[in-house]
Structures are given as structure tokens and as C-alpha cells.
Structure 1
Amino acid sequence: MADGGRQTFIVGPIFCFWLIISSSGCFQASEARADQAKNLTTPLSFEEGWAELQEAFTRATELNGSIFRLFTSDEYIRFYKTVYEHCADNHHMSAQFYEGYKNFFKEYLTSKVLPSLREKKDEKLLQELVRTWSNFKTTTGWLSRFFYYLNRYYLPFTKQPSLRETSYLSFYKLVYGEVNDQVRDVLIDMIDQEQEGGQIDEALVKNVLDVYVEMAEGSMKFYVKDFEEALLKDTARFYHKKAVGLMTIDSDDESMRKVKEWVEREREGTSYLKVSQKKLLQVSEHELLTKQVIKEQHEEKLQSRALMADE
């Protein structure tokens, strides 16, 4: 409608509705931008970030045996992002997250893993150890992915062990430190049984021995210190008894036949002790052949005395 050169528009209900919606959308967009600006200036807290990771910790310890089905790619990104956003360029926060990572494994090992091992004995103990170690590796694998930022930047900069080494050392100190004597004794008893001609679960023995090596990330230091040294001493005792038994055999030919048989058996070795085969062979030869030489020398002295008496 025209009024003195001015135009007046009648605003209908549809236009009013559109105006309200548009204004509301603009207001929400403004709020979102304000929230973003606030997030950029408000420091993130360790407590909030750590709370966001509790789901990851819980699920990583409730394993179904498959590392590939535990978390989806979206979940992985979400947990990784939580660590990254809190720790990136924040040395103090990185230190807190690393300390939390270590404390989580300490609590998990002492409250979950150790109780399951303490109630087992003999081969059941070995089986439980293999099972818990396998699950522990999976747990470590996932959590080290979520905390990758620490592995990539913070830990090398501060010259501290990697995430995997940190968790593996926790397992070695807290778990193996308590059960190793039992585990080692069961292993050696099984090996002695096989040396006497018995049947044992060789695959189980091998899997347990692999744990020693894997805990040290491929190094043989735990295997040598915590198992092989005791194995060599036991092998020496085993063949010492055998050699003493040879002293009662009158026939030198029969004695040497048995010595060769035992040495050859040790030379052939078993698949799970290949890494110690050379040392085991040296021990067995020393015990068997030394005693055989002593026996022969003793017999020669007796013969010499007999000849002197005849003269």
C-alpha cells in the first residue's frame, strides 16, 4: 500500500516464523563460537581428561582374546584425541598422564592378575601365566596406542622408558617377582621328567619360556638370570647322579655306551631349549666324562697296586 510516497509491506505469519527460526539459528551459532573461544582459553584439567579415559581402561582389561575387535576406529580416535589434546605442548600434563598410566598397571596387576595366579599350582600355574601374559600384552598394545603422544614426544624428551617397556617392567617386578620361583621349579621338574623318558606338554614349556624373552622385549637377560642359571645347576646335579651310578658298573664298555647315549641325547636337545643347548651340552659332558675319567684312573691305580703286590 502506498502512503505519501512510502511503501508499507504486510508481514505474513510465514515470514514471521522464518524470521524467528533464522534468529534462533544465528543465536545458536554465536553460542557455539563463544563456546569454542572459551575452550581455547580455558585450560583442560587432568581430572576431566582422565575421567574420559576410564572407559578405555575398563574395556582394555575385559578382553575377548582379539586385539582387533576390542575398539572401533572411532573409539580409538576419541581416546587418542583425549590424550593428545591434554598433553600436546604441556609438559606438566604429560607427566601426570604418564604417572597415571603407570599407576593403572600397578593397580591392575596387583588386584586382578596376581590373585588369579596365587590360587594355581603346578601346570595350572603355567597355563594361567601364559593366558594372563597374552591378555596383558593386548591391554598394553591398546593403551600404548591411546597414549601414543607420550611415546612419540614426552618420553624420549625426558629419557624415560617407552610405554610398552614401562608396562612390561611392571609385570616383571610385580607379577614375576612373586611367582617366578614357583614357575621355574615347575618348569625344571617337567624337564627332568622328560629327561627320564616321561611325556610332558612341550608347547606349554615353550610358551612359558617365551614369556621370559618377551618381558625383556627380545633380550635374553631375564631368561638367563631367572631360568637358565637354575637349569644349568639342575642339569649338573642330574648328570652327577648319573655319573655316580656309572661308578658301580664293572664294564667300561657299558659305562661309555651310556655316557655317549646321554651326551647324544643332550646334543640333540629339545625345541624349547635350543637357546641353552650349547651350555647344557658342556655341563653334561663335564659331569659324565669327568666322572668316567676318575673311574678309569681309580681302576688303573687298583690294577697297579695289584701288580705291585704280585711282585
Structure 2
Amino acid sequence: MGERKTFELEQGWEYMQKGITKLKGILDGSLEQFNSEEYMMLYTTIYNMCTQKPPNDYSQQLYDKYREAFQVYINSTVLPSIKEKHNEFMLRELVKRWANHKIMVRWLSRFFHYLDRYFIARRSLPPLNEVGLTCFRDLVYQKVTSKAKDAVLDVNVMENRLTEHC
């Protein structure tokens, strides 16, 4: 029986980034979905990179890159799209981005599931789902919370004025 091909971190991560890019496109409205073959290849890539013999076991690096993928997406796409809007439109964008973020967490957690089952459990690290949700809290919610509160108050004031005039 032959040796299994060794994946280098850069090679495997490049493939994973293509999947992450496709997922971002889906969240932004692309009609193209993942087929079962693509899904299995993404999962298998993570599996292979986590089950190679040291020093080619990239579990820790992949765990870190999972978090980094959310940080990059939030800072490059989510935050700018929320910050450029005001009042009710900002609130709508925040709600939309939160819904999309939860979908992204669910999909990426599936791709990286092998990490959750073995590496994370053995190391007592926060599970992937928690890491993804914490990124949104730390990078989005804490930055826009006061602006969101002001927007809610502005919407309430406008609604009160409208009801007074009717």
C-alpha cells in the first residue's frame, strides 16, 4: 500500500480559500451552490492536513486560519458595509450581516469539522462555532453597538412623530 500524498499548509490552505471565497459569493447572492463533490473535497482537505504525521500535522495552523478567515472577511466586507449606512439602513445591514455570518459559521464549521471532533476536544480549545460567533461579537458588535443604539432611538423618535401627526 502506497504512502498518502503529503499536503503542505500553503497548498491545502489555497484550496480552502477557494471554498471560502465561493461561500462568501453565495452569501452575497451568487446562485452557484456547493455540490457534494466540492463539499467532500473541502472536508477531506482539512482531514488530510490534520492526520498527517508531524511535522506535517497542521491542526493548530488550520484552527488559527479558521479564525483568521472570519477576521479578514469581517474587516474587509462586513464592517465597511455596516459603517457606510445610517439609521434604519444600518440596522437592516447589521441584521443581514449577522444572519449571513451565522450561515458562514455553520458552513465553515462543517468543512473544518474534523478539527472540532479531535484536535479541539483534546486541546480543550473553544469549538469552531464559538470561535466564529465570538469574532462577530468582538469585531462587529462591539464596534457598532453605540451607533446601533442611536439608530434604534432615531427610528423610535421618527415613529412617535409619525403617530402624533396621524
What TM-score comes out, normalization by structure 1 length?
A: 0.47
Q: How does 1:9-88 map to 2 (within 5 A)?
A: 37=2, 39-40=3-4, 43-63=6-26, 70-88=33-51
1:43 Cα deviation from its structure 2 partner: 3.7
- Counterpart among 95, 111, 116 of residue 60 in structure 2: 95
Deviations 1:61-119, CA, capped at 9 Å, x for gaps: 112578x9631111111110010011026685100111111111111110111111111
- How far, CA to CA, are the matches of 1:55 and 1:173 in structure 2? 26
Larger Rg: 1
- How far, CA to CA, are the matches of 1:80 and 1:126 in structure 2? 35
- How far, CA to CA, are the matches of 2:33 and 2:94 in structure 1? 22
What's the Cα RMSD here?
2.4
User: Are 1:64 and 1:70, in contact at CA under 8 Å, matched by a contact in 2?
Assistant: no
Q: Give the secondary-structure state (helix, strand or coil) at the position aligned to 1:160.
A: coil
Q: Match for residue 288 of structure 1?
A: none
Greater relative CO (CA pairs within 8 A, separation 6+): 2
Paired residue type of 1:119? E
Gap runs ≥5 in structure 2 = none
- How far, CA to CA, are the matches of 1:112 and 1:64 in structure 2? 12
- How far, CA to CA, are the matches of 1:184 and 1:151 in structure 2? 35
1:184 aligns to 2:149 (yes or no): yes
- How far, CA to CA, are the matches of 2:124 and 2:27 in structure 1? 34
User: Are 1:155 and 1:162, in contact at CA under 8 Å, matched by a contact in 2?
Assistant: yes
What TM-score comes out, normalization by structure 2 length?
A: 0.84
Q: Give the secondary-structure state (helix, strand or coil) at the position aligned to 2:61.
A: helix
1:117 aligns to 2:82 (yes or no): yes
- How far, CA to CA, are the matches of 1:188 and 1:70 in structure 2? 39
